Chains A and B, each alone.
Chain A
């Protein structure tokens, strides 16, 4: 009798399980199963919902669960963004600190809110040797028109010119030797102030010096506190010679040798 009982039990189990399977086949379970699968997949691997396929899969999920999952996805994206911003901020802080350190090392007093930007000289125009040079930083680096451009010579910061034209990735530096350049300056020997003007040659001319001022060759010429572009006390050059006084003029002039030969400049410092 035992085999018959087992056979009958097997037949009953077969009928029951087959009936359950057939009932399952008739039930519209595809959508809820997809929804459950989407939820489970999100728990284990949230990134599978990225892109168009993810949007399609999310559409299957019930509204409340979808909102939670979307909030979770958004939360993850924002966390990544925060981490990225944190890295950018740390990098910026590092650059700022480096700028401050370099500026301090060079003895440069940068006005509040201004930063130092280094650039490389990338091009010189042979036809305008004393007029301008191109540097490899531009608008995207925060370079602005008329920004002061300095150069380094034996550890000393000296005046090179100002930004005359700004492009996206490059800028044109109008050299202090250009005819259209002028810088308010004073002599190191006293408080005598004048205006340095370019000549289009290797030499500069310092005009509007007080007629009674004593100008001696070798006097250093520094930027004045009245300069709108340059910080005060930056070396412009040295007096080469004083011009003979013109009785018809109320001031005297001097020839100034620039502190740096533009042809020797490879890197520049831009105050932005």
Chain B
């Protein structure tokens, strides 16, 4: 994790959690808010590779599980896998373009919903369905957010 000091990693983790909490608490419309931490995990994977992305994904996933009282470990597992997969495909796919970012984020969002739902079903006998509104609109919301986060990452972390 070249270029990442512990302080910067911790700061990025805390900042991500705080912004996510603030956005979902105060800036959600009709219960809809972007999955900021999932998109950030994808951004980290695309820019820094799978290992930093998996580490951040695991930590942010734990935070999301604690916040949302979901099955503990489900979101962290989903984000670890997302970080690994995006980190793996970044060598085969150009993730610099906005279109590619949107495709990855949209596919990642639907995969995230499906995967966490299935995990809940497996462990709690209850499929975690986010609702049609969230299922259909969250990917769009995330796609709008993704280029902004890529730009922020390049501007703040990489520069």
Contact = CB atoms under 8 A, between A and B. Distances in A.
A binds B: yes
Interface range, A side: 20 to 34
Given A17-B54, A25-B123, A33-B72, A6 B49 contact: yes
Contacts of A20: 58, 73, 76
A77 interface: no
Contacts of B149: none
Contact of B69 (A18, A22, A34): A34
Interface in B34-69: 49-51, 54-55, 57-58, 61-62, 65-66, 69
Nearest to B75: A21
Given A24-B72, A33-B72, A18 B66 contact: no
Contact of B54 (A14, A30, A36): A14
A244 interface: no
Contacts, number: 66
Interface range, B side: 20 to 34
Contacts of A14: 50, 54, 80-81, 84
Nearest to B57: A17
B81 A27 contact: no
B146 interface: no
Contacts of B71: 25
B74 interface: yes
A29 B69 contact: no
Given A18-B81, A22-B77, A27 B54 contact: no
A13 interface: yes
Contacts of A18: 77, 80-81
B87 A10 contact: yes
24 contacts: A10-B50, A10-B51, A10-B54, A10-B87, A13-B54, A14-B54, A14-B80, A17-B54, A17-B55, A17-B80, A18-B77, A20-B73, A21-B80, A22-B73, A24-B62, A24-B65, A24-B72, A25-B73, A25-B74, A25-B123, A27-B72, A29-B72, A30-B72, A33-B72
Given A24-B62, A30-B69, 10 more contacts: A10-B51, A10-B54, A14-B50, A14-B54, A17-B58, A20-B73, A21-B80, A22-B77, A30-B72, A36-B66
Interface of A: 6, 9-10, 13-14, 17-18, 20-25, 27, 29-30, 33-34, 36-37
